Amino acid sequence: MAPAAIAQNPAMDVHAQAQRCLMERDPETKLARVRELDARWPEKRPRVCDGVSAPEPIAVPGRPPRPRLVSPREVERRQVSTPEGRAALLHALAHIEFNAVNLALDAVYRFRGLPFEYYGDWVRVAAEEAHHFALLRERLRALGHDYGDFTAHDGLWEMAVKTAHDPLARMALVPRVLEARGLDASPTLIAKLRACGDARAVEIMAIIQRDEIGHVAVGSRWYRYLCGERGLDPVATFRRLLREYDGPRLRGPFDHVARRRAGFTEQELDLIEELAAGR
- Give DSSP secondary structure letters for 16-34: HHHHHHHH--SHHHHHHHH
Total domains in the chain come to 1
> Does residue 205 register a pLDDT over 50?
yes
pLDDT of residue 50: 54
| Least confident window among 55-64, 118-127, 253-262 | 55-64
Query: What pLDDT is stored for residue 219 in this prediction?
Result: 98
Other C-beta atoms lying within 10 Å of the C-beta of residue 73: 7
64 CB neighbour count, 10 Å cutoff = 13
pTM for the model stands at: 0.91
Q: Give the other-Cβ count within 10 Å of 268's Cβ.
A: 18
pLDDT at residue number 8: 42
- How far is 198 from 143, CA to CA, in rounded Å? 11
The residue ranking higher by pLDDT, 124 or 71, is 124
Q: Given pLDDT bands bounded at 50, 70 and 90, which one contains residue 14?
A: confident
Could you tell me the CA-to-CA distances from 25 to 61, 85, 154, 209 in Å, in that order?
8, 27, 16, 26
Non-local CB neighbours of 119 within 8 Å, separated by 6+ positions? 14, 49, 108
Q: pLDDT above 70 covers what percent of the chain?
A: 91
Beta bridge partners, 115, equal 48
- Determine the structural domain holding residue 112 and report its residue range: 3-276
- Mean pLDDT of the residues in the chain: 89
* pLDDT score, position 40: 83
CA pair distance 179, 95, nearest whole angstrom: 13
- Looking at the DSSP bridge assignments, the partners of residue 117 are none
